[in-house]
Amino acid sequence: MSESTQTLRAAVETSDMLEIDGLHAFEFSISEGKELVIQVMDGRDKKSWTFTGAQVDAAVFNDGLQSWTLSGDSGEHRLVCLSAFRANDDDDESEVADEA
């Protein structure tokens, strides 16, 4: 499923990292109340954004930029949802067993 056919909420829930306005955020959460909270360190400065459930639901996916446009109290923001590649621990164990 492409991101353009899902909601921002679903994309955030399956993301390992977000990029907001060019800053990488590892600390983010979407609460039961549907509020999205994002925190980043920009040098020595801690920045945070809070978006209401209505603002998250109103976000629009841009196919060309592969990002979401999200309007909050502090203006418009560009949000990219990123997923990390993960190694499968089972494969490592079977390779070691094959070598023995």
Q: What is the mean pLDDT of the chain?
A: 84
**Sheet strands side by side (includes 45-51):** 27-30, 36-42, 45-51
Q: Assign 1 a pLDDT band (cuts: 50, 70, 90).
A: very low
pTM of the model: 0.75
Pair 28, 19: CB distance under 8 Å: no
- CATH, residue 47: 2.30.29.190
**How far apart, in whole angstroms, are the C-alpha atoms of residue 94 and residue 68?**
40
Q: Please report which helix (H) or strand (E) contains residue 64, including its range.
A: none
Token pair, residue 45, equals 């400065």
**Domain containing residue 50:** 3-99
State residue 73's pLDDT score: 86
> What's the pLDDT tens digit per position in 15-50?
999 999 999 999 999 987 789 999 999 999 999 999
Q: Could you give the number of structural domains in the chain? A: 1
- Let me know if 78 is exposed, middle or buried by CB neighbors in 10 A (0-12, 13-18, 19+): middle
- Stated length of the chain: 100
